A and B are shown apart, each in its own frame.
Chain A
Amino acid sequence: EAQVTQNPRYLITVTGKKLTVTCSQNMNHEYMSWYRQDPGLGLRQIYYSMNVEVTDKGDVPEGYKVSRKEKRNFPLILESPSPNQTSLYFCASSFSPDLYTEAFFGQGTRLTVV
């Protein structure tokens, strides 16, 4: 089944404790991205990747890191989480970075930083 898989789905952590949210897709998509969803603000893009080893900042990159060592994986790293990073996070992928192709979303990760 074609899908984008995020783990974990729920995470509660303490301020300053490094964490990684994994994202994997099995559709051989080139384009992957991370969004955070906050009430009233919709989804905002954090980082995106056009292909392996090619990443770039989205609208709200502060406090986040990403890597794209393999085509299928695009982990989101919070080196020192803070309470303002409490949010719902989505990974998305699509076939091409150049032309529009449908974006597939993961199931979301609810992160709480206390």
Chain B
Amino acid sequence: AQTVTQSQPEMSVQEAETVTLSCTYDTSESDYYLFWYKQPPSRQMILVIRQEAYKQQNATENRFSVNFQKAAKSFSLKISDSQLGDAAMYFCAYTHAGNMLTFGGGTRLMVKP
């Protein structure tokens, strides 16, 4: 069975600085997708960024980028120029097929003004 592990329950960052959230996963599949979701206090699940395993290039979305290391099964999220609105719970997730998402336990990110 696939597992997703986020080893940092909480992280904090100073506004305007950069922070990296860690995620590792375990799978025997070669083709899959990885995601980072943001959950603000409103509880809404917001897709931040997506990486397809067959693509070697790391995905980027504005201030958000990933470091995807397929051999190491590592998928970290880097947030640059952190803003107060980035404070939230962040979930790493995996899917092979059929759209069932396997989630990590989450990392709570606090942004200090």
Contact = CB atoms under 8 A, between A and B. Distances in A.
B75 to A, nearest CB: 14
A48 interface: yes
A43 interface: yes
Q: What is the predominant secondary structure among interface residues of chain B facing chain A? A: loop
Contact of B91 (A42, A88, A107): A42
A41 B95 contact: no
Interface stretch (B14-22, B42-50, B61-69, B77-85): B42-50
A105 B45 contact: yes
A42 B104 contact: yes
A90 interface: yes
Contacts, number: 59
A33 B45 contact: no
Interface of B: 4, 6, 9, 33, 42-45, 47, 50, 91, 93, 95, 97-106
Given A107-B42, A110-B43, 17 more contacts: A31-B99, A33-B99, A35-B103, A40-B9, A42-B91, A43-B91, A45-B102, A48-B99, A50-B98, A58-B100, A96-B99, A97-B99, A98-B97, A100-B95, A105-B44, A107-B44, A108-B44
